[in-house]
Structure formats: structure tokens, C-alpha cells
Amino acid sequence: MPRKSAKLRLIALVLATLVSACAARPARLGGDPALRVLPSSELPAPDGADISAPGQTTFVGPNDKLVIDVYGMPDFSGREVQVDSEGQLAFPAAGRFEVFGKTPTEVGDLLAARLRAAYMRDPQVTVTLKESAGHTFTVEGQVTKPGIFPVPNHLSLLRAMAVSGGLTEYARVDDIVVFRTVRGQRLAALYNLRAIREGAYPDPAIYANDVVVVGDSSSRRLFKDVLQVAPLLMTPLVIAIDRLTN
């Protein structure tokens, strides 16, 4: 009986701790005076000027067209090459290599290194993006594959999560932030992915240059830590706590 009583006290402590952790930190957003936080239903779409705004970093994507010049080597200069659908580039003496997500300058540096490895003496490479087949968006935080991705037609938040490999076990589904610049103003809105999945409100569109950040659930981390050190709990209780912390 004492052993059973101790186990029940442990279960009660775990439940109290996790409930407290879930309630301790509501999802918060803002604080930067240059950032305007809007309700999720009011985040406006960018216009053409926002998507191609001057000064923004340019990244190479699938099917982009590049112009490559190797100084002092006419046979290797003025070449127009196209990145393939997998984000790779083929060039004489350099072979085929990955360029997706790199800037034109980084592509030039990488190509120069490969030409140097092919015994070309001190190649000076310039890469210019002639034509972009599409723009990119960024996913950061608790997703399986954070990174920079091309923007296909009709991209939504749920599809953006799928493109980035889905959520990690520590993702907080009610803490998904979309950052966007519209007419020079930095904007942000907070989304609840579970509510979108359940059809409570529309799946919002994601545009070029958007940054999507998936928050971290400290309560789920605590839950896993407790399970690693505590005795085996009853399976239904484990499932209930797991749902509570998600």
C-alpha cells in the first residue's frame, strides 16, 4: 500500500507540474518597436514591390538562369546556364554541384573552388542571376527541415509545414509566427496550427520572402524529462499527459 500511495503521489506531482508548465507561458509576440503585430486574420498580402524590394538578398533556386564569367577564359565566359529542378548546376570542368539556397556570390566561390581543384590556376568567377524562376520563403524553429524553400503556386501555412518536413516533437502548435514586410513595414501574426487543421479558420497564404517560425514547447520537453527519470506510469495517463502538453 505505501508503494502504491507513493506512485499515486508521483502521478499527481507530474500532472500538477505539467499543467503548471502549460499555463505558465502563453504565446507572446512583439516588443520590437519596428514590428507591428496584427491579428492573424488581418495580415495583408505583399505587393509586387515587396517581393522584389531592392536590397533584399537574392538566393538561387531550381530552374533559375545564371550567367557565368571566368575572367581571362573566353571559353568559360558569357555562359548562360540553368539550374536544374533539383537545385543543381552543371559546368565544364566543375561537374554537377548543389547551388540551391546559395547567393550568386556563394555560387561563384563554390565554382571557383571546383575549377581550382580541376587544376585551373586562380580562376576569377562572376555569377549573375539573369532570370529567377521563383522566389523563396524561410521556415525556422521546431520543424524537421528548417531552411529556405522556393515558393510554389498556392502555398499555404499547412503546405509550408509539409515542405519543411513537418513539426518536431517539441513544436508548439499554437505558437506559429509569420513575419512579412508590406510596403516597408515589418508585420507579424500568430497562428494556431491545430485550429487551422480542424477548420476553425482558413489556412493562410504564404508568400515570397515570408519567414515562418515554429515555437518550442517547454512543457513537452519537461514531459519527456519526467518520463526518463520516473517509474513506468499507466499507459492511459501517459497518453493524456502527452495530449495535454501538445
CA atoms within 13 Å, Cβ hemisphere of 186 = 9
Inform me whether the pLDDT recorded for 242 exceeds 90.
no
Percent of the chain topping pLDDT 70: 72
**What pLDDT does residue 99 have?**
93
CA of 25: how far to CAs of 54, 83, 192, 195, 238, in Å? 38, 45, 15, 19, 22
- The domains of the chain, with CATH numbers, are 2-20+221-245 (no CATH), 27-54+135-217 (3.10.560.10), 65-131 (3.30.1950.10)
* Distance in angstroms (rounded) separating the CA atoms of residues 41 and 109: 43
Q: Can you list the alpha helix ranges (DSSP code H) found in the chain? A: 2-24, 48-51, 104-117, 157-163, 193-197, 218-229, 235-245
* Distance in angstroms (rounded) separating the CA atoms of residues 90 and 82: 8
Q: Give the range with max mean pLDDT: 58-72, 149-163, 194-208, 225-239.
A: 194-208
Residues in the chain: 246
Instruction: Identify which has the larger pLDDT, 218 or 191.
Output: 191
Confidence of residue 29 (pLDDT cuts 50, 70, 90): confident
Helices (H) and strands (E) in the chain, counts: 7, 11
CA 155, chain centre distance (Å): 14
Inform me whether the pLDDT recorded for 155 exceeds 50.
yes
Entry pTM: 0.59
Residues 6+ apart with CB under 8 A from 119: none
| Per-residue pLDDT tens over the stretch 104-125 | 999 999 999 999 999 888 999 9
